[in-house]
Chain A
Amino acid sequence: MKVKKIYRGFIINDANVVCETVRAIVSYLENSLGVSSDQSFDVKIILNELLQNAIEHGNLSNCDKKVYMDVCIRGEDVLNITIKDQGQGFDVDKVLKRKCDQTERDIMDLPECGRGLHIVRSLCDDISFNQRGNCITVKKRLL
Chain B
Amino acid sequence: MFEMTVDNHGSSDKVRIVLSGEIDISTAPEFKTGLYELIGDGTKNVELICDGLTYIDSTGLGILVGALKRVKNHQNNVYILRLRDNIRKLFRITGLDKVFILEDAV
* Chain A contacts to B: CB under 8 angstroms: 15-16, 18-19, 38, 41-42, 44-45, 48-49, 52, 100-103, 107-108, 110-116, 118-119, 122-123
**Does A110 lie within 8 Å of B98, measured CB to CB?**
no
User: How far is it, in angstroms, between the C-alpha of A108 and the C-alpha of B65 when the chains are bound?
Assistant: 9
Subset of 14 A-B contacts with CB under 8 Å: A38-B86, A41-B86, A42-B86, A52-B25, A52-B58, A102-B99, A103-B99, A107-B68, A110-B99, A112-B65, A115-B61, A115-B62, A119-B93, A123-B93
B96 within 8 A of A: yes
Enumerate B19-74 residues with CB–CB distance to A below 8 Å.
24-26, 55, 57-59, 61-63, 65-66, 68-69, 72-73
| In the complex, B81 has a CB within 8 A of chain A | no
CB-CB < 8 A to A119: which residues of B? 57-58, 90, 93-94
Chain B residues closer than 8 Å to A123, beta-carbon distance? 93
Given A15-B25, A103-B95, A118-B94, check contact A44 B68 (CB 8 Å). Answer: no
How many residues on the B side are at the interface (Cβ–Cβ under 8 A)? 24
Closest residue on chain B to residue A112 by CB atoms: B62
Main secondary structure of the interface of A (DSSP, over half): helix
Q: Which residue of A lies closest to B61 (CB)?
A: A115
- The answer to whether A115 and B99 touch across the interface, beta carbons within 8 angstroms, is no
Question: Known contacts A45-B57, A110-B99, A118-B93; can you find 14 more A-B pairs with CB under 8 A?
Answer: A15-B26, A19-B26, A41-B55, A48-B57, A52-B58, A103-B95, A107-B99, A108-B69, A110-B69, A113-B58, A114-B58, A115-B62, A119-B57, A119-B90
A118–B89 Cα distance when bound, in Å, is 13
Q: How far is the CA of A101 from the CA of B86 in the complex (A)?
A: 20
Contact present for A101 and B57 (CB under 8 Å): no
Which residues of A are found within 8 Å of B94, using beta-carbon distances? 100, 102, 115, 118-119
Q: Which residues of A contact B69 (CB under 8 A)?
A: 107-108, 110
Q: Are A19 and B24 in contact (CB under 8 A)?
A: yes
Set of chain A residues within 8 Å of B96, measured between Cβ atoms: 102
Nearest B residue to A120 via CB reads B58
A123, chain B: closest CB distance, angstroms: 8
With a CB–CB cut-off of 8 A, which chain A residues contact B63?
112
Given contacts A45-B90, A102-B98, A119-B94, contact A108 B25 (CB under 8 A): no
